[in-house]
Amino acid sequence: MILSRVRIAALCLLILPLQVFAACSKSQPGWLWNYNGDIGGKYRIRMTLVFAGEEISGVYFYASQLKDIALRGRMQDATHVLLEELDGSGKVVARIEAEFPEKDPDSAFGDSELQCEVIRGNWSKTGSDTKLPIYLQMEGGTAGSIKHRYASIGVRDPETLHRNSQAFWLAVKSDDRKAAASLVRYPIRVETSAGRKRYASADELLGDYELIFTPRFRESIAKALPRNMFVRDQGAMLGNGQVWFGADGKVTALNTF
């Protein structure tokens, strides 16, 4: 017996997996949530969002530019988010339409049930029909505000910290050893493969530079982003804690392992 088109369509709906969305219901206006990801699978970005009920604000930047781009938006049914990208005059120049998936086995969270940990959707310029996929994974959260994210360590102007932390990051990437050593706060103790040692000056650190800044350690620093970093009472953290910066952007700790 030949099945009717209606019955075939119904069977197909049963076979196809249903897309299930998570309920992201954060309302923490004094908390910053950092996400790492990409646009179009090749433009690496870092985004910070503030959830205040249905209202959302934030910034994001491209790893290649390290310059904040303002965002404003709204939650939709606690499952979807619409973000508008603003230029310097407050004009909307791009949009992000995304959802919070409940499951994302391809992410670092495996098959765990998610809430706000993953954002998946599309980015598009205003007036353009071209859409690029956007994918973000939550790195973590920290108390603060967009304009004063480092207030807990006494920073009034985030750009002061960013300027020195980025200078150190660039110096390590380009193997400018003197510049990197000049951006460390002394004395500093560093754990190396030869044991823990105290360095009282840039000259002393330069003497052991290759022992401290191994190719692997330099690579881990290069992969991190020295902007809009996680912060706690001991300073601002680069990457997964490889480097910590003080309020002036000088290096206060190097964790080579």
Give the residue extent of every domain in the chain. 31-143, 151-254
Cβ neighbours for 156, distance < 8 A, ≥ 6 positions apart: 148
Whether the domain at 31-143 and the domain at 151-254 fall into the same CATH topology? no
Between CA 27 and CA 36 the distance in angstroms is 21
- What's the pLDDT at 11? 47
The two three-digit tokens of residue 193, written as one number: 């493969």
- What's the pLDDT at 19? 57
What pTM, to 2 d.p., does this model score? 0.87
CATH class of 31-143: mainly beta
User: Is CATH 3.10.450 the classification given to domain 151-254?
Assistant: yes
Tens place of pLDDT for every residue, the chain, 257 residues?
Answer: 444 554 544 444 444 444 567 778 888 999 999 999 999 999 999 999 999 989 999 999 999 999 999 999 999 888 899 999 999 999 999 999 999 999 887 788 888 889 899 999 999 999 999 999 999 999 999 999 999 999 999 998 899 899 999 999 999 999 999 999 999 999 999 988 888 999 999 999 999 999 999 999 999 999 999 999 999 989 999 999 999 999 999 999 999 97
Torsion, Cα of 123, 126, 128, 130 (10° steps): 0
> Does residue 50 contact residue 56 with C-beta atoms inside 8 Å?
yes
CA distances in angstroms from 64 to 40, 44, 45, 49, 212, listed in the order given: 14, 8, 9, 20, 26
- What's the pLDDT at 15? 44
- What's the pLDDT at 4? 53
Residue 224: Cβ within 10 Å count: 19
